[in-house]
């Protein structure tokens, strides 16, 4: 007998809550779910995938909320700094907004050490690069 769609979604939600509350990995979840429902690992694995998709949505929404809040706070800081004439703070707020939005990439120092490479092509001579 197949659950209705509403019951199935409720079960997915319950499993997602279990994963979040217990910080459960695949092994812990499938052991719990197979013991609780009396089903095999294949069905438990399917539920794991559905529940993890729901967990990912919750995490994505939470992260988006934190990012939005940080952007608003930085915008307010930037406005206050502009009104007070604090150019340094205003520029820092702009820099952090760019970082959060992914528009700025941190500079990285790259050191390249060139070594001599000797190649022998089977001729009598050797080529040095």
Is 0.85 surpassed by the pTM of this model? no
Instruction: State percent of the chain over pLDDT 70.
Output: 82
For residue 41, the number of C-alpha atoms closer than 13 Å in the C-beta half-sphere is 4
Rounded mean pLDDT, 53-70:
91
Q: Where are the domains of the chain?
A: 5-128
Rounded mean pLDDT, 26-40:
94
pLDDT at 1: 44
Asked if 15 and 47 touch (Cβ cutoff 8 Å), the reply is yes
Label residue 125 by pLDDT band (50, 70, 90).
low
Asked if 47 and 11 touch (Cβ cutoff 8 Å), the reply is yes
Residue bearing the bigger pLDDT, 105 or 45: 45
Rounded mean pLDDT, 82-90:
93
């Amino acid at each position: 007998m197949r659950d209705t769609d509403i019951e199935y979604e409720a079960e997915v939600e319950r499993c997602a809550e279990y994963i979040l509350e217990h910080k459960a990995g695949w092994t812990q979840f499938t052991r719990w779910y197979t013991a609780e429902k009396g089903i095999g690992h294949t069905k438990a694995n399917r539920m794991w995938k559905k529940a993890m998709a729901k967990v990912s949505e919750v995490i994505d929404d939470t992260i988006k909320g934190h990012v939005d809040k940080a952007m608003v706070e930085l915008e307010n800081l930037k406005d206050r700094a502009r009104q007070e004439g604090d150019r340094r703070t205003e520029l820092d707020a702009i820099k952090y907004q760019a970082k959060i939005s992914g528009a700025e990439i941190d500079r990285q120092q790259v050191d390249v050490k060139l070594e001599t490479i000797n190649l022998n092509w089977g001729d009598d001579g050797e080529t040095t690069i």
